[in-house]
């Protein structure tokens, strides 16, 4: 598909700085602190992956970065300017498909440009390019319900990318897909990232997904969410899934990350979280094998 030479708009990648952010829900003494004194940076042009136990406040952080909610304290800055609300600078891909069911693939992809009245010949060519890129050329006139789960996720990637956001934010976007489709999606997505060089912020609970995709890996503590460790995944790009299995650095990162996640899971388990029990058990078996 690389012969498809469409004049593509130049993407100005952004950088997000999260500084001392806290967020709690509920009134007064019933308040539950979900994010506490959280500090991290989503570096320009890099794929930053955030991994943490489920229910650790990752989705709250996403809503804050997207601007759907604002932090109680602290600040979130995009290239130095505070984030005040949702904007096409920071597009979010949700856990489940948020494609508009009443629009065809093509209309979904063109939603953003039409909303802003920016449909030019160049936009249409770019839409065409993206449609090919995500392998949905033959499905342009299909409605989301007619697409498979993987196709829906790809259509959504295209719908986000046509807006040339400075940052793409992805909230467990491949959750719920079967293992094979998931791996296919990783390669599609990594390929799109490598080509665009755009800043990406990717949240997941899947360690294999995290290590395969990440330039930087942020490992979260249990709730209230804080960044516990940052690991630079210095494995050269573009990566191949088959190579990653045998890559020593990738495996070292994976083990390091798992050890930290296990520690966090143990903490929450001892505090009565049932969700952590599964992880603790799975980790015990895995390390027994290794």
The interface region with other proteins, picked from 33-41, 50-58, 85-93, 241-249 by CB under 8 A, is 85-93
Using CB under 8 A as the binding rule, whether residue 120 contacts other proteins is answered as no
- Interface with other proteins: number of residues (CB under 8 A): 28
Using CB under 8 A as the binding rule, whether residue 100 contacts other proteins is answered as yes
Alpha-carbon gap, residue 85 to 92, rounded angstroms: 13
Member of 52, 53, 71, 112 binding other proteins (CB under 8 A): 112
Alpha-carbon gap, residue 128 to 161, rounded angstroms: 12
CA 164 and chain centroid, separation: 16
Using CB under 8 A as the binding rule, whether residue 68 contacts other proteins is answered as yes
CB closer to other proteins out of 96 and 125: 96
Residues 6+ apart with CB under 8 A from 67: 83, 84, 85, 86, 87, 90
CB closer to other proteins out of 170 and 214: 170
Tell me which residue of 273, 283, 232 sits closest to 56, measured CA to CA. Answer: 273
Member of 96, 125, 187, 263 binding other proteins (CB under 8 A): 96
Member of 86, 132, 191, 227 binding other proteins (CB under 8 A): 86
The interface region with other proteins, picked from 53-61, 87-95, 179-187, 269-277 by CB under 8 A, is 87-95
In the three-class reduction of DSSP (H, G, I as helix; E, B as strand; rest coil), residue 40 is classed as strand
For residue 128, the minimal CB distance to other proteins (Å) is 19
For residue 78, the minimal CB distance to other proteins (Å) is 13
Using CB under 8 A as the binding rule, whether residue 25 contacts other proteins is answered as no
Tell me which residue of 18, 28, 103, 27 sits closest to 57, measured CA to CA. Answer: 18
Using CB under 8 A as the binding rule, whether residue 206 contacts other proteins is answered as no
Using CB under 8 A as the binding rule, whether residue 98 contacts other proteins is answered as yes
SS3 string, 116-147, reads CCCCCHHHHHHHHHHHHHCCCHHHCCCCHHHC
Q: Phi and psi of 98, rounded to 5°? A: -115, 25
Using CB under 8 A as the binding rule, whether residue 69 contacts other proteins is answered as no
For residue 98, the minimal CB distance to other proteins (Å) is 4
Using CB under 8 A as the binding rule, whether residue 119 contacts other proteins is answered as no
Alpha-carbon gap, residue 176 to 154, rounded angstroms: 14
SS3 string, 229-267, reads EEEECCCCCCCCHHHHHHCHHHHHHHHHHHHHHHHHHHH
Q: Are β-strands 227-232 and 216-220 bridged in parallel, bridged antiparallel, or unpaired?
A: antiparallel
Using CB under 8 A as the binding rule, whether residue 116 contacts other proteins is answered as yes
Using CB under 8 A as the binding rule, whether residue 267 contacts other proteins is answered as no
Considering only residues 135 to 194 of the shown chain, the ones binding other proteins according to CB under 8 A are 142-146, 159, 163
For residue 92, the minimal CB distance to other proteins (Å) is 6
Binding residues for other proteins, per CB under 8 A?
Answer: 66, 68, 85-88, 90-92, 94, 96, 98, 100-103, 111-112, 114-116, 142-146, 159, 163
């Amino acid at each position: 598909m690389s012969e498809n030479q469409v004049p593509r708009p130049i993407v100005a990648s952004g950088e997000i700085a999260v500084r001392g952010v806290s967020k709690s829900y509920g009134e007064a003494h019933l308040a539950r602190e979900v994010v506490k004194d959280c500090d991290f940076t989503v570096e320009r042009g890099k794929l930053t992956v955030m991994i943490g136990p489920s229910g650790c406040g990752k989705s709250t952080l996403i809503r804050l970065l997207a601007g759907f909610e604002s932090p109680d304290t602290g600040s979130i800055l995009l290239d130095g300017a505070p984030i005040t609300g949702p904007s096409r600078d920071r597009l979010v891909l949700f856990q489940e498909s948020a494609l508009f069911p009443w629009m065809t693939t093509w209309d979904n992809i063109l939603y953003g440009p039409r909303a802003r009245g920016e449909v030019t010949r160049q936009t249409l060519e770019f839409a065409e390019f993206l449609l090919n890129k995500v392998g949905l050329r033959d499905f342009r006139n299909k409605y989301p319900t007619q697409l498979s789960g993987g196709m829906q996720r790809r259509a959504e990637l295209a719908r986000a990318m046509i807006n040339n956001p400075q940052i793409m934010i992805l909230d467990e976007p491949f959750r719920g897909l079967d293992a094979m489709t998931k791996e296919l999606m990783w390669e599609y997505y990594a390929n799109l990232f490598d080509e665009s060089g755009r800043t990406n912020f990717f949240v997941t609970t899947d360690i294999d997904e995290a290590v395969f995709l990440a330039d930087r890996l942020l490992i979260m503590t249990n709730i209230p969410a804080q960044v516990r460790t940052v690991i630079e995944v210095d494995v050269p790009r573009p990566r191949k899934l088959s190579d990653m299995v045998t890559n020593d650095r990738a495996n070292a990162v994976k083990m390091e990350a798992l050890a930290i996640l296990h520690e966090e899971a143990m903490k929450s388990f001892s505090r009565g979280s049932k969700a952590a029990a599964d992880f603790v058990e799975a980790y015990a078996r895995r390390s027994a094998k290794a």
